[in-house]
Structure 1
Amino acid sequence: MEITLIRHGRSAHIEDHRLNSREFKKWVETYNRLGILEDEVCPSDALEKGVSASFILTSNLKRSIESAKCLNPLAKIRTDRLFREAELPLPASNLPGLKLRPKTWALVLRLLWICGYSQGCESYRDAKLRAKQASLLLTSIAKEHHSAVLAGHGFFNLLIAGELQKAGWTGKRKTGSKHWNTDTYVCLGGDENVNT
């Protein structure tokens, strides 16, 4: 049995100038609304996993769904909000004098989130619980179909990978953060070796 976690393709939202906190909030809303670049090409390792899948799991975000279609236009898409990216917290107030690039905002806010700051979003603890649910669902699907493929999101895939490893799956300790990153987790020896 195997479970493959693939990060979505590059977003069609490519705006990268410095933003204040209010502008960054709007940037995130646009990022979550848009899909992937039209000319996006899947790398061979991701494509190989997608083509072999009869269906691909996705979050309900457009970039995840479009990535699954890019991986295998003929596969059925199973969309589930459970697989959404772990949201970023928002600054408690507008910080008009502080302007950062979107990647810098994301890094700072993700670190604050891991440390316990979760203004306006699910907590790190709750996201880890959701990742456990996601890993159980993926395990159930893999048991039934011998494999499961998720076109998901970078940080949430990392959380799912941790849960899979705790349950006895083997694979990379840490998922990659690049678009189309593909990590496969294997359960050797059958169902009895997976903790559910």
Structure 2
Amino acid sequence: MAHNQIREVVFIRHGKPLSAHNEKINSACYANWVRQYNKSLLDPASHPKKTVPLENSYIVTSPLLRAKLSAAYYGVTEVNEELPYLKEMDIPYYKLPFTLRSWHWVVLSRALWFLGVTGRFESFKFAKQRVKKLVCHVEKLSETHQRIVLFGHGMTNYYAGKFLIKNGWELKQKDRDFWGVTVLQKAEATNANA
């Protein structure tokens, strides 16, 4: 007799970095803002709206500090795997002759990046290829682990979710904010008589 086994993938975006200010800055200061964001501790005032239970889960983190600190905040004492494919899609920065707020720089730079403008960071095309490798790895893990929890990053989590949906996973919950949780599930028929 066959029955369905639900496999689940949970993406948790890192908490808000302490360096994530939104001041008006020029492009040189924005490049420094990106570097500081990548090395930043978490803002102690930033907390999850709600936490996700981690029992019976295979725990994966990005190698970036903010993801590791977010896992530690959740009480993770043992990470099953630190996965380079899970790191954030590089935050691009360009030398442009004006001043904007930090988060406006992020939006403008991402828009140029999506259009294929390159720089001293990974291209959008390469970043998507890396995330596709992440998805292949996660699907392989899901064959032996019913529930996988990944502490990652906004853009990487978003594109990984899109690629999983294309592969037949169902989106059950999404939140792209800091500490946001995105849940995908896939039912697999199993033979109970085997």
Query: Could you say what secondary structure the match of 2:110 adopts?
Result: helix
Q: Which runs of 4+ in 1 moved over 3 A?
A: none
What is the percentage of aligned positions where both structures have the same residue?
26
Instruction: Name the structure 1 match of 2:3.
Output: none
Conserved? CA contact 1:54–1:76, under 8 Å: no
Alpha-carbon contact 1:18-1:102 (below 8 Å) kept: yes
Counterpart of 1:18?
24
Distance 1:8 1:182 in 2: 10
Judging changes above 3 Å, is the alpha-carbon distance between structure 1 residues 87 and 123 closer, same or farther for their aligned structure 2 residues? same
Residue of structure 2 equivalent to 1:194: none
Structure with bigger helix share is 1
- State the TM-score, normalized to the length of structure 1: 0.85
Aligned to 1:56: 59
**Alignment correspondent of 1:66:** 69
Cα deviation per residue 1:115-134 (whole Å; 9 max; x = unaligned)?
A: 11121122211111111110
Task: Tell me: CA distance 1:53–1:19, structure 2 relative to 1, closer, same or farther (3 Å).
Answer: farther
Larger gyration radius, structure 1 or structure 2 = 2
1 or 2 for the larger relative contact order (CA 8 Å, sep ≥6)?
2
Contact 2:13 2:154 in 1 (8 A): yes
Aligned to 1:85: 88
CA distance in 1, matches of 2:117, 2:172: 28
Q: Return the offset for 1:75.
A: 3.8
How many angstroms does 1:54 deviate by?
4.5
Structure 1, unmatched stretches of 5+, are 192-196
Q: What count of residue pairs does the alignment treat as equivalent?
A: 184
Unaligned runs of 5+ in 2: 1-6
User: What is the letter of the counterpart of residue 48 of structure 1?
Assistant: V
| TM-score, normalization by structure 2 | 0.86
**Deviation at 1:183?**
1.0
